Amino acid sequence: MNMIEGHVAFEPAAGIPVWDIDPYAEEVLLNAEDYYAELRRHGPLVYIPKYSVLACGRYDETREIFSDHTRFVSSRGVGLNDFKYGKPWRAPSIILEVDPPDHTKTRKVMARALSPKAISGLKDAFREAAERIVDGLVAKGSFEAVAELAEAFPVTVFPKALGMVDSDRRRLVDYGAMVFNALGPDNKFRRAAMAQVPDIVPWITAACARDRLTKDGLGALIYGAADDGEVTEEEAAMLVRSFLSAGVDTTVTGIGNALWCLASNPREYDRLKADPALARPCFEEVLRFTSPVHTFARTANQDTEVAGYGIAEGTKILCALASANLDPAKWGDPDIFRIDRKPVGHMAFGAGIHGCVGQNLARLELEIVLSVLAEKVDRIEFDGEPVWRPNNAIHALDRLPLKFVAK
C-alpha cells in the first residue's frame, strides 16, 4: 500500500480532472480566492496528485459530501490522515472525529448545553464586556484589532462562560490554531503546531479538569452529564476541552474577519449603524464571505459516486467550504459583501449532523459585538495594511490596524 500524508494513495476515476497544485502552500492559503475560482472551474471534483486527494469547491457537491455522514465519514479524520491506518497525534475527538451512534450520544450532551435557550443567560455579561472593550478602543482611537478586540472579547467572556478559573490568553487562542493546523499536510504550519503541543495541551487539560471549573458554567453542565451516566468522566473532560479547541480561535477569527469586512465596506457599516437589527444577518454574511474554517476533509467509507464520478473507499476529499460559499452558481454575486443577504445554507458552520455545535454561542458573541459597535462607533477605518495568517484550516487575520471614530 502506497501511503501519502497518512492515507492510501489512489488513482482517480476516469474523467476526474487532475490539477497539480498545493492547496496548503503559503501563497495559496494567503490568496485563496484565485485557488477557489480555479477549483470550481475544473469541475465538481478534481484530483490533486501532490497529496493524492480529491477536492471539491462547488456548492452542490461540497454540501452533498459534507452532509452525508454515511458515505463520507468523520471517524477516519477530518484532515489528511486516515485514522484507519495510523494513530492520530491526539486521541480522536469524540464529537468531531466520530460517526453515529457514538456521535449521537456526545453531540446530544453538547447540543443541550449550547442550545439557544441554554446560552441566553450569557447575554448581559457578553454585552457588558463588549461595551467596556469598545469604549476603551474608541477612547484610544488607533489600535491593533486582532489582539485588542478580536482576541480580547472571546478571551474575556468565553472561559468565564465555560466556568474556567485559570486563564492564559496566548494558550487559549493558540490551542485552536494548533488543532486546525494539524488537519493539513506535514508542512511548516503543521510542524510548528506540533511543536506547541507539549506547552499547550497539558495546560489546557489541567485547566479543564472538573475541580478547576466553577459549578455554574457550561463545563459543569458537561460534567453533570457524566454524573448522570450519559458520558464517562473522561469523555466529559474531552468534551470540555473541545469547547476551547473549537470555540476560541474560531470566534477570534470571526470577529477579526467581521471588522475587516466592515472596514472594507463602509457603506455596509453605515447600513448596520442605521439598523442595528442587521447585526445577526451581517454576521451570516461575514461567515459566507470570509469562512473562518476554509477547508475540512471527509473520507469515503465505501465505493460511491458524486456528480457521476466514481469515488473509491478510502478516498480523502478536501471540502473547500470557503469556495462553496463563494460559488456564483449558488449565490449569484458572491463577491459582493451585503449585510442583508441572509445567506441561509452557507457552509461556514458545516452542515448536517456535524454542523458546528457552538454556532449559537458564536452568533450571540458576534451579534453583541456588532450591535455595540453600531451604537458607539461612527466609522471603522484601516490604519495600515491588514495581514492574514496562513493556517491549514482557518482563514484568519494576523494583524489588523484599525481606527475607530467615535459617534
Partner 1 sequence: MTNVTFIAHDGTETTIDIANGDNVMRAALANDIDGIVGECGGSMMCATCHCYVDDAWADRVGPRADGEEDMLESAACEVKPTSRLSCQIRIEPELDGLVVHLPESQT
Q: Does 136 bind partner 1 (CB under 8 A)?
A: no
Would you say 117 or 215 has its CB closer to partner 1?
117
Distance (Å, whole) CA 11 – CA 315: 10
Cell of 311: 469515488
Distance (Å, whole) CA 172 – CA 161: 14
Binding mask 360-389 for partner 1 (x = CB under 8 A): x--x--------------------------
* Identified binder of partner 1 from the candidate list 114, 162, 183, 286, rule CB under 8 A: 114
Q: Does 107 bind partner 1 (CB under 8 A)?
A: yes
Distance (Å, whole) CA 21 – CA 251: 30
* Identified binder of partner 1 from the candidate list 12, 350, 386, 390, rule CB under 8 A: 350
Distance (Å, whole) CA 111 – CA 99: 16
Q: Does 353 bind partner 1 (CB under 8 A)?
A: yes
* Identified binder of partner 1 from the candidate list 60, 359, 379, 389, rule CB under 8 A: 359
* Closest separation in Å from C-beta 221 to partner 1: 12
* Closest separation in Å from C-beta 305 to partner 1: 16
Q: Does 111 bind partner 1 (CB under 8 A)?
A: yes
* Closest separation in Å from C-beta 350 to partner 1: 7
* Closest separation in Å from C-beta 4 to partner 1: 32
Binding mask 65-84 for partner 1 (x = CB under 8 A): --x-----------------
Distance (Å, whole) CA 323 – CA 47: 16
Only one of the segments 35-43, 157-165, 317-325, 346-354 lies at the binding site for partner 1 (rule: CB under 8 A); that segment is 346-354
* Closest separation in Å from C-beta 104 to partner 1: 5
Q: Does 345 bind partner 1 (CB under 8 A)?
A: yes
Cβ partners under 8 Å of residue 60, min gap 6: 44, 307, 329, 330
Cell of 59: 456548492
* Identified binder of partner 1 from the candidate list 346, 388, 390, 395, rule CB under 8 A: 346
Only one of the segments 168-176, 191-199, 345-353, 373-381 lies at the binding site for partner 1 (rule: CB under 8 A); that segment is 345-353
Distance (Å, whole) CA 151 – CA 133: 11
Q: Does 304 bind partner 1 (CB under 8 A)?
A: no
Cβ partners under 8 Å of residue 374, min gap 6: 272, 273, 276, 279
* Identified binder of partner 1 from the candidate list 298, 354, 395, 403, rule CB under 8 A: 354
Would you say 86 or 352 has its CB closer to partner 1?
352
Q: Does 355 bind partner 1 (CB under 8 A)?
A: yes
Residue 313 CB: number of other CB atoms within 10 A? Answer: 14
Would you say 173 or 356 has its CB closer to partner 1?
356
Under a CB-based contact definition with an 8 Å cutoff, are residues 36 and 323 in contact?
A: yes
Interacting positions 9-28 with partner 1 (CB under 8 A): none
* Closest separation in Å from C-beta 227 to partner 1: 17
Q: How far is CA 329 from CA 136, 278, 302, 325, 344, in A?
A: 43, 25, 29, 10, 15
Q: Does 357 bind partner 1 (CB under 8 A)?
A: yes
Angle at CA of residue 372, ends 366 and 378, nearest 5°: 120
Distance (Å, whole) CA 100 – CA 331: 32
Q: What are residue 46's DSSP bridge partners?
A: 55
CA dihedral 19, 20, 24, 29 (to 10 degrees): -70
Residue (of 328, 343, 315) closest to 41 by Cα position = 328
Q: Does 45 bind partner 1 (CB under 8 A)?
A: no
What values do phi and psi take at 35, rounded to 5? -60, -45
Distance (Å, whole) CA 82 – CA 150: 34
Under a CB-based contact definition with an 8 Å cutoff, are residues 244 and 312 in contact?
A: no
* Closest separation in Å from C-beta 343 to partner 1: 10
Q: Does 287 bind partner 1 (CB under 8 A)?
A: no
Binding site for partner 1 (CB under 8 A): 67, 104, 107-108, 111-112, 114-118, 344-346, 349-357, 359-360, 363
